[in-house]
């Protein structure tokens, strides 16, 4: 077909694009998950809970597509990563999936039956469907940074060490759990800022107190994780590898585990330091803006913070996507886990055309539905609102 | 070595979750367009009753849609979690339509669906109609892309195997998209969805008409559904016939298995209406046949033969032996042999590599397989015939039954005799499960008929799994069984509750249960 971009450039572009999709997920669907986490706590009566739910009601489904599309893009652009990560993290993926089951039905079914037990059961369902994926996505990043126990055989089939609990429990190590708590914390803050923008009091004011208390904690934990990464986690470094535009074959390279290697990028590309700086400052500024009653700007600041936190994890590992702790040369990098030049080109064209269109109508939908959700509105639309 | 129990569990999980997902998909595909039709009438005529119709049927649509989204997530995860070698081996081709499905279709339907439910007061009439239209368009586009992906599993065109990367790679996106199997599957599948949506509205309306409730509302709903349903049902049957023709061209094994045609018959082949297929004897006993019909469906001619399974297996043996040479060449190339002779030999046999891989269930090294192993592998190149034979006949039989329901309903409605023919209204109610059974048996024919391949003639199913343990699979199957049962019970409870309640569930104060209550309160 057409050689729009050379192969090495496209591999790099797809690393950016997958990052953009994950950040898009955190900013949009992360907010819904945060609202789900906060639901049982900042909204106490049925009316308050319906207010909180209806602030994200029209949008959660579209937002969730960021996650689905990120999964699809990883499948199309990095099939080796999709294969090794989804099957390796089998138990964790199932937990995420089973938790996510409660979202569509939680939103749509909750208010269709007027019964306290029914509704509060779905409220906790929405809590689980927000908290569990938010935690586990962070845990996954925490494990990627430490390397994952898998190897590729000579047919490039991926094998993971352990099954059931022997596969799951090692994933729940202290560093990974810290990463999980950071992820849970940043999405919760994000949801709280959204509630301040769109929900009526007292939900909004409770959400403000949560933000002011929680946002600095997120910044502190992220900083702590950075220090831990420097002192306690060995990074990975490519020692020798085929050229970047070679056909994808992970087994053709040499990889070494080196202390502090996860900080290489910040020396080579000083501008990369912007990511961790944003990761620390974003939540702090968001907390300050919330206490100054400027939740709109706070929402933007926290979005920058999340981009910084996710970006830091991606940049630190560059060019690794999924390092292997038991067979370092099986590690998957952006250069050797990618699809063919042709497929990356087709997908790039599709994304370049479709993503702007998606952004356009998404903004239109938010604009049409804008406004504070009040108890009176819910009362007036009690048969149609969530 | 390959553990057959583990492979079986992986297949049960995929088949179970996919068939479960497809309980919700066809209703979404069809009902969404019925909503567009009803709302268009509302916008054009300004009659409130059509708005109420859009909102009531939209409520039932929402109850169904929620589970469609829930179970669709499983499908998105499952290629990676349970079919990881598949994902590695064909992700370069198969992943693209899936990712485009997300970008083009899922975003569209999911972004607008929330405004469909919650935007009535915030949007103008036309804006809301546009929202409904884009939701319908999004769900139908999603069917397009997933069927492009599925069509490629049946007929993997536009791609080639690369020994360097040990996977299939895309060569032509146009070939993948315009794959004839994908195109006929798409139109057949969405039309089946339209039939499902129509029969759903038809049956529930008929029930309310029988009860004498909300007659103006239900008569109009019936009229919209019966027209759309009749046109769709005719399309499904015509397009199903077109699928038969495509199969005769590219999936000969599936066609012969559906027809239980063990041996090539003189052209034009007869169509076996009923019979008892026996896998051991390789023949079908007690057949009732219609002369010529099969030959006409499959070849559109009176002189071309339809190949039987025995003859196809002779060809499979040749391809397995050719595949052994391909496998040997592949191992040499991956071992570092860069000589042009090896490459030429591999290239000459590369299209049979998949057949060589079939031997992997009997031996570690297919290149050295014995004659006995080759014979055993040949036996596995065709699917078990009787389940296909019968599922296909159930699907087709139900198709014609539904055609009768729509045609009779159309006639009775047009001549204004619907309410006096209570037998018909009961038939319409009882026929509600028919499209679901037809859809599920149809998918069974399509996917079980593809066996032993995950990707037709390229990757055997037993090689496509993840490297998990039986314990992992038992855990996940137990989880799916628990959650899916629970969700189904809840969904059916809500669906029948709201279907019975009718438009009174909108809380507008002008429908049956509300006016009745108002009367008794006086």
Q: A328 to each of A83, A143, A229, A324, B293, how far by Cα in Å? A: 17, 14, 19, 5, 61
Q: B326 to each of B101, B203, B321, B329, B349, how far by Cα in Å? A: 35, 56, 9, 5, 5
The tokens 């009718």 sit on which residue? B502
Token reading at A274 = 């912007």
Contacts of B282 (CB under 8 A, 6+ apart): B262, B263, B309, B310
Mutation pick from A97, A111, A335 vs chain B, by most beta carbons of B within 10 Å, is A97
Do B467 and A157 count as a contact with CB atoms less than 8 A apart?
A: yes
Backbone φ/ψ region at A101: left (φ over 0), alpha (ψ -120 to 50), beta: alpha
Do B118 and A84 count as a contact with CB atoms less than 8 A apart?
A: no
Centre a 10 Å sphere on the Cβ of residue A91 and count the other Cβ atoms it contains: 22
Do B63 and A156 count as a contact with CB atoms less than 8 A apart?
A: no
Q: Quick one: pLDDT at residue B98?
A: 96
Nearest to A163 among B80, B113, B472 (CB): B472
Looking at the complex, does the CB of residue A341 fall below 8 Å from at least one CB of chain B?
no
- Per residue in B244-279, pLDDT (tens digit) is 777 777 888 998 999 898 998 887 888 888 889 888
Asked if B272 and B225 count as a contact pair (C-beta separation under 8 A), the reply is no
Q: Which residues on neighbouring strands pair with residue B284, listed in sequence order? A: B277
**pLDDT over 80 at B516, yes or no:** no
Chain B closest-CA separation from residue A199 CA (Å)? 16
Q: What is the mean pLDDT of chain A?
A: 96
Q: Quick one: pLDDT at residue B247?
A: 77
- Per residue in A179-199, pLDDT (tens digit) is 999 999 999 999 999 999 999
pLDDT lower than 50: segments of chain A: 1
Q: How far apart are CA A283 and CA A215, in angstroms?
A: 5
> Nearest CA to A109 among B70, B66, B501, B135?
B66
DSSP string, B412-478: HHHTT-TTT-HHHHHHHHHTTTHHHHHHHHHHHHHHHTTTTEEETTTEEGGGSS-S--HHHHHHHHH
Q: Quick one: pLDDT at residue B522?
A: 43
Compute the average pLDDT of residues B310-335: 96
Nearest to A75 among B98, B487, B491 (CB): B98
CB-CB neighbors (< 8 A) of A352 in chain B: none
Q: Quick one: pLDDT at residue B517?
A: 64
**pLDDT over 60 at B521, yes or no:** no
Q: Quick one: pLDDT at residue B193?
A: 97
Nearest to A75 among B65, B99, B117 (CB): B99
Minimum Cα–Cα distance from B86: chain A residue: A83
> What is residue A42's DSSP assignment?
H
Do A87 and B468 count as a contact with CB atoms less than 8 A apart?
A: yes
Do B165 and A362 count as a contact with CB atoms less than 8 A apart?
A: no
Nearest to B106 among A65, A113, A247 (CB): A65
Q: Which residues on neighbouring strands pair with residue A234, listed in sequence order? A: A259
Looking at the complex, does the CB of residue A119 fall below 8 Å from at least one CB of chain B?
no
> What is residue B304's DSSP assignment?
S
In degrees rounded to 5, what are phi and psi of residue A195? -65, -35
CB-CB neighbors (< 8 A) of A20 in chain B: none
Q: How far apart are CA A317 and CA A343, in angstroms?
A: 24
Strand locations in chain A (E): 150-152, 158-160, 234-240, 254-259, 320-322, 332-333
Chain A closest-CA separation from residue B62 CA (Å)? 7
Per-residue confidence band for B401, with pLDDT thresholds at 50, 70 and 90: very high
Do A83 and B65 count as a contact with CB atoms less than 8 A apart?
A: no
DSSP string, A155-181: T--EEES--HHHHHGGGG-HHHHHHHH
Do B91 and A75 count as a contact with CB atoms less than 8 A apart?
A: yes
Mutation pick from A25, A76, A327 vs chain B, by most beta carbons of B within 10 Å, is A76
> Nearest CA to A97 among B476, B110, B472, B114?
B476
Residues 3-22 of A with CB under 8 A from B: none
Compute the average pLDDT of residues B500-514: 91
Contacts of A375 (CB under 8 A, 6+ apart): A47, A48, A51, A200
Domain boundaries defined on chain A: 17-380
> Nearest CA to B433 among B223, B220, B140, B204?
B204
What is Dmax (Cα atoms) for chain B? 96
Do B111 and A354 count as a contact with CB atoms less than 8 A apart?
A: no
Looking at the complex, does the CB of residue A365 fall below 8 Å from at least one CB of chain B?
yes
Centre a 10 Å sphere on the Cβ of residue A295 and count the other Cβ atoms it contains: 23
**pLDDT over 60 at B519, yes or no:** no
Q: How far apart are CA A42 and CA B34, in angstroms?
A: 40
In this prediction the ipTM stands at 0.95
Selected residue with higher pLDDT from B246 and B330: B330
Token reading at B205 = 């309306």
pLDDT exceeding 90 applies to what percent of chain A?
Answer: 96
């Amino acid at each position: 077909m057409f050689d729009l971009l050379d192969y090495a450039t496209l591999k790099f572009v797809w690393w950016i694009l997958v990052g953009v999709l994950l950040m898009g997920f955190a900013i949009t669907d992360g907010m819904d998950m945060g609202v789900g986490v906060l639901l049982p706590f900042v909204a106490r009566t049925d009316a308050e809970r319906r207010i909180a739910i209806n602030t994200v009601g029209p949008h959660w489904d579209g937002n969730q597509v960021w996650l689905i599309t990120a999964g699809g893009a990883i499948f199309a652009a990095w099939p080796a990563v999709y294969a090794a990560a989804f099957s390796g993290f089998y138990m964790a993926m199932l937990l995420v999936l089973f938790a996510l089951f409660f979202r569509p039905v939680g939103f749509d079914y909750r208010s269709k039956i007027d019964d306290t037990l029914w509704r509060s059961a779905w409220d906790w369902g929405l809590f689980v469907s927000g908290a569990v994926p938010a935690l586990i996505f962070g845990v996954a990043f925490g494990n990627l940074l430490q390397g994952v126990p898998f190897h590729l055989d000579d047919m490039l089939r991926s094998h993971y060490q352990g099954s059931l609990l022997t596969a799951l429990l090692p994933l729940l190590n202290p560093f990974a759990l810290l990463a999980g708590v950071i992820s849970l914390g940043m999405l919760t803050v994000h949801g709280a800022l959204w509630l301040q923008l769109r929900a009526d009091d007292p939900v909004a004011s409770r959400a403000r107190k949560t933000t002011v208390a929680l946002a600095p904690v997120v910044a502190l934990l992220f900083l702590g994780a950075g220090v831990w990464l420097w002192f306690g986690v060995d990074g990975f470094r490519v020692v020798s590898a085929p050229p970047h535009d070679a056909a994808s074959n992970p087994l053709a390279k040499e990889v070494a585990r080196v202390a502090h290697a996860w900080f290489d990028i910040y020396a080579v590309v000083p501008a990369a330091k912007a990511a961790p700086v944003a990761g620390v400052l974003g939540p702090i500024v968001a907390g300050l803006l919330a206490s100054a009653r400027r939740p709109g700007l706070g929402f933007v600041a926290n979005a920058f913070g999340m981009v910084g936190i996710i970006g830091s994890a991606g940049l630190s590992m560059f060019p690794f996507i999924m390092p292997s702790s038991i067979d370092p040369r099986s590690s998957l990098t952006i250069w050797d886990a990618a699809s063919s030049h042709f497929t990356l080109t087709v997908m790039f064209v599709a994304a370049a055309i479709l993503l702007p269109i998606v952004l356009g109508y998404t903004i239109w939908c938010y604009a049409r539905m804008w406004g504070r959700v009040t108890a009176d509105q819910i009362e007036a639309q009690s048969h149609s609102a969530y | 070595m390959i553990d057959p129990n583990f492979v079986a569990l992986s297949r049960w999980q995929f088949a179970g979750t996919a068939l479960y997902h497809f309980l919700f998909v066809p209703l979404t595909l069809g009902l969404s367009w019925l909503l567009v039709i009803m709302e268009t009438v509302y916008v054009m005529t300004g009659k409130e009753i059509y708005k109420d119709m859009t909102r009531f049927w939209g409520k039932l649509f929402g109850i169904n849609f929620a589970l469609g989204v829930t179970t669709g997530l499983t499908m998105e995860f499952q290629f990676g979690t349970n079919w990881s070698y598949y994902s590695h081996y064909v992700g370069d081709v198969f992943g693209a339509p899936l990712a485009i499905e997300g970008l083009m279709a899922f975003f569209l339907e999911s972004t607008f669906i929330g405004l469909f439910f919650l935007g009535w007061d915030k949007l103008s009439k036309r804006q809301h109609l546009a929202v409904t239209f884009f939701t319908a368009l999004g769900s139908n586009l999603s069917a397009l892309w997933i069927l492009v992906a599925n069509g490629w599993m049946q007929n993997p065109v536009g791609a080639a195997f690369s020994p360097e990367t040990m996977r299939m790679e895309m060569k032509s996106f146009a070939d993948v998209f315009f794959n004839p199997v994908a195109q006929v599957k798409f139109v057949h599948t969405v039309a089946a969805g339209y039939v499902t949506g129509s029969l759903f509205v038809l049956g529930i309306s008929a029930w309310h008409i029988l009860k004498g409730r909300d007659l103006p509302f239900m008569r109009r709903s019936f009229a919209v559904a019966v027209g759309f349903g009749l046109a769709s049902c005719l399309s499904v049957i015509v397009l199903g016939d077109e699928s038969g023709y495509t199969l005769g061209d590219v999936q000969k094994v599936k066609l012969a298995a559906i027809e239980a045609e063990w041996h090539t018959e003189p052209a034009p082949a007869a169509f076996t209406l009923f019979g008892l297929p026996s896998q051991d004897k390789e023949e079908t006993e007690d057949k009732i046949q219609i002369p010529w019909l099969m030959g006409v469906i499959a070849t559109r001619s009176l002189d071309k033969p339809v190949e039987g399974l025995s003859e196809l297996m002779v060809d499979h043996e040749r391809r397995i032996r050719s595949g052994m040479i391909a496998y040997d060449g592949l191992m040499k190339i991956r071992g570092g042999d860069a000589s042009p002779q090896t490459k030429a030999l591999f290239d000459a046999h590369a299209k049979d590599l998949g057949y060589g891989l079939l031997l992997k269930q009997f031996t570690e090294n297919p290149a050295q397989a014995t004659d006995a192993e080759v014979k055993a592998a040949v036996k596995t190149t065709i699917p078990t015939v009787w389940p296909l034979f019968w599922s296909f006949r159930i699907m087709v039989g139900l198709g014609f039954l539904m055609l009768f329901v729509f045609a009779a309903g159309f006639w009775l409605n047009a001549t204004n005799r619907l309410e006096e023919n209570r037998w018909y209204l009961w038939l319409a109610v009882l026929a509600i499960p028919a499209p679901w059974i037809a859809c599920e048996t149809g998918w069974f024919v399509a996917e079980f008929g593809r066996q032993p391949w995950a990707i037709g003639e390229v990757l055997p199913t037993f090689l496509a799994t993840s490297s998990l343990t039986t314990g992992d699979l038992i855990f996940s199957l137990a989880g799916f069984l628990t959650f899916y049962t629970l969700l189904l019970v809840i969904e059916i409870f809500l669906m029948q509750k709201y279907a019975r309640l009718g438009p009174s569930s909108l809380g507008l104060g002008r429908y049956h249960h509300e006016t009745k209550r108002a009367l008794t309160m006086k």
